[in-house]
Structure 1
Amino acid sequence: MRWEMGRESENVEDRRGMGGGFGRGVQVGGIGGLGVVAVALIAMFLGVDPRLVLDMLPTDTGTQPAVVEGGRPPADDQQARFVSTVLGETEDTWHEIFNAMGRQYQEPRLVLFDGRVQSACGIAGAATGPFYCPGDERVYLDLSFFDELERRFEAPGDFARAYVIAHEVGHHVQTLLGITGEVDRLRQRSDEATSNRLSVRVELQADCLAGLWARHTEERHEILEPGDIEEAMNAASAVGDDRIQRATRGYVVPDAFTHGSAAQRVRWFHRGFDTGNLDACNTFDAGHP
């Protein structure tokens, strides 16, 4: 991937080394019973074992310190520069697409953290993986995930990493378009199986939006090198629910899917990349995603 000459985004916030992203400032209420339920639901929505997140919640029922925003990453941090550049490319692409729709794209912020982090969606740790929080319109990323992507999921390469960022930004696009809110309302009225199916369609649409980003960015800057699309496909396939379930459980339970199978994730990324058309990413009207 030819990324070194791209524009770096100003929206990267470095909270690494801040001990969870807490700091002095205005006090906010502690997490009560409803807050714990909300965090658990969000964890399930992200395809994460809720216990991994709940175990990290503070037990103190008093006030918790407010989140302090981090600063800019060091200029000589190569990984942070890569993230900033990919984020900048997503900004350029989505500004272009939103302008064509007569709308204004609101850029998200991307938070780099290590260990654990406080977001509007609660406290999350590195085990959560990269995630987007619609409550504060931020993407959260522990850079150690890129090492895990290569070692555990056997999906190396800079474009595989770019796909991960573009997927999370896709969730931000869904929030701006009102899709996230509507799906959340539907899921609240649904049983577990239906809720999971809705979650799969959300995630597959984010994959399609990542493919759409790749197509538009390639047309503008010719960023792709031989093997880049294969890197993204490898990453999409590696984090398919069926492959993860088979590796962790030894068997596959389709009704428990929250992100989609390996084949589905690859297919929807290709749909976005091949068409370059936002309308083609409507996973909700597809009879079978």
Structure 2
Amino acid sequence: MRVSHLAVVMCMVAGLLVPSPARAGQRTAHAGLSGEMSSGGVMPLECDVPAIRLGSVASLRSFHHAMADCADRFWAVTFAVAGLAYTRPTVTITTGTDSVCGTITGNGAHYCPEQRTIAVRIMRHELRDPFRMNIAHSIAHEWGHHVQQLTGVLGAHEALYAPASERARTLLSHRLEMQAECYAGVFYSAALDSIDPGIAWEAWIEAVSKADESETHGKPSNLALWQDRGFRGGATGFCDTWTAGDSQVT
């Protein structure tokens, strides 16, 4: 019953967040939820995302801010076409560990729902090896959580999480994180050329699938699956992780 409640919320969201307006044919969310896949018709989103200078904190800040502007443009149009209210999240960038939602650990980026803030920490390894796509993903993934906040998915998730068993909590977290990955893929379907990732999409997805496993996020192979599904589908209707089988989100 609890999982089905969140599935209902997700279906409502999918019905509202229709495919990107630039996408030929305006495919419906129902087609996306049925598993139909298509990669044609997405118009490139032209964003001015600068180069990253080795060892330069200022350069990385500029990159993150440009990524934020690009993601904001994409999601603002997507929400507008769906007839939904949209607000841009605050983006904070630091070299320390403190943020408005507490200590930044792990991958260096967090989304703070109450403050509607994406907090990004510039990591030392990024200064030594500024891999564009990996750094870009900090913004793209966390923006996916902001989309979940605006559409009520985070609130529904929180209501189900508190009383759930440990196993159910793990599955809920995985479904949440993998949907954010899928939303990042949807964004990439329009913005990838502007990001100039420095890696072919297929190679990037393979790298994602071989990353270290996270208890919160789930198996890298499934994270790669959902990110690729969003990219090739090009619409939020392809991101229904809530009714997917457990094996696709563990």
Judge same fold: TM > 0.5, yes or no.
yes
Give 1:36-185 correspondences, 5 Å limit: 77-119=58-100, 121=101, 123-127=102-106, 129-144=108-123, 147=126, 157-185=131-159
Aligned to 1:42: none
Q: 1:205 to 1:173 in 2, by over 3 A?
A: same
Secondary structure of 1:215's aligned partner: helix
Partners in 1 of 2:244 and 2:157 — Cα distance? 15
Q: Is structure 2 residue 192 aligned with structure 1 residue 211?
A: no
Aligned to 2:11: none
Aligned to 2:224: 266
Task: Tell me by how many angstroms 1:240 deviates.
Answer: 4.6
Partner letter of residue 72 of structure 2?
Answer: E
Secondary structure of 2:118's aligned partner: strand
Q: TM-score, normalised by structure 2?
A: 0.70
Task: Tell me by how many angstroms 1:232 deviates.
Answer: 4.1
Task: Tell me by how many angstroms 1:135 deviates.
Answer: 1.0
Task: Tell me by how many angstroms 1:103 deviates.
Answer: 1.2
The one-character-per-residue Cα deviations of 1:69-94 (angstroms, maximum 9, x if unpaired) are xxxxxxx9211111111111100110
- Bigger shift: 95-104 or 194-203? 95-104
Contact 1:93 1:213 in 2 (8 A): yes
The one-character-per-residue Cα deviations of 1:162-192 (angstroms, maximum 9, x if unpaired) are 1221001110110001000100110111011
Q: Is structure 2 residue 208 aligned with structure 1 residue 233?
A: no
Contact 1:159 1:229 in 2 (8 A): no
Q: 1:117 to 1:269 in 2, by over 3 A?
A: same
Partners in 2 of 1:265 and 1:148 — Cα distance? 26
Contact 1:236 1:265 in 2 (8 A): yes
Task: Tell me by how many angstroms 1:236 deviates.
Answer: 3.1
Secondary structure of 1:212's aligned partner: helix
**Which protein shows a greater Rg?**
1
Partners in 1 of 2:211 and 2:158 — Cα distance? 23
Secondary structure of 2:147's aligned partner: helix
Partners in 2 of 1:157 and 1:283 — Cα distance? 28
Partner letter of residue 227 of structure 1?
Answer: I
Task: Tell me by how many angstroms 1:228 deviates.
Answer: 4.2
Unaligned residue ranges in structure 2 (runs of 5+): 1-44, 51-56
Q: Is structure 2 residue 245 aligned with structure 1 residue 287?
A: yes
Task: Tell me by how many angstroms 1:287 deviates.
Answer: 2.0
Partners in 1 of 2:138 and 2:200 — Cα distance? 13
Unaligned residue ranges in structure 1 (runs of 5+): 9-75, 151-155, 245-256
Secondary structure of 1:77's aligned partner: helix
Q: 1:269 to 1:5 in 2, by over 3 A?
A: closer
Partners in 1 of 2:222 and 2:128 — Cα distance? 19
Contact 1:240 1:265 in 2 (8 A): no
Secondary structure of 1:160's aligned partner: helix
Task: Tell me by how many angstroms 1:157 deviates.
Answer: 2.0
Q: 1:179 to 1:89 in 2, by over 3 A?
A: same
Partners in 1 of 2:127 and 2:176 — Cα distance? 24
Partners in 2 of 1:239 and 1:140 — Cα distance? 22
The 4+ residue runs of structure 1 with deviation greater than 6 A are none
The sequence identity of aligned pairs, in percent, is 27
RMSD, matched Cα: 2.9
In the alignment, which of 159, 162, 166 is matched to residue 188 of structure 1? 162
Aligned residues between the structures: 198
Aligned to 1:200: 174
Partners in 1 of 2:46 and 2:75 — Cα distance? 20
Contact 1:159 1:231 in 2 (8 A): no
Secondary structure of 2:145's aligned partner: helix
Q: 1:135 to 1:263 in 2, by over 3 A?
A: same
Partners in 2 of 1:238 and 1:115 — Cα distance? 28
Contact 1:240 1:262 in 2 (8 A): yes
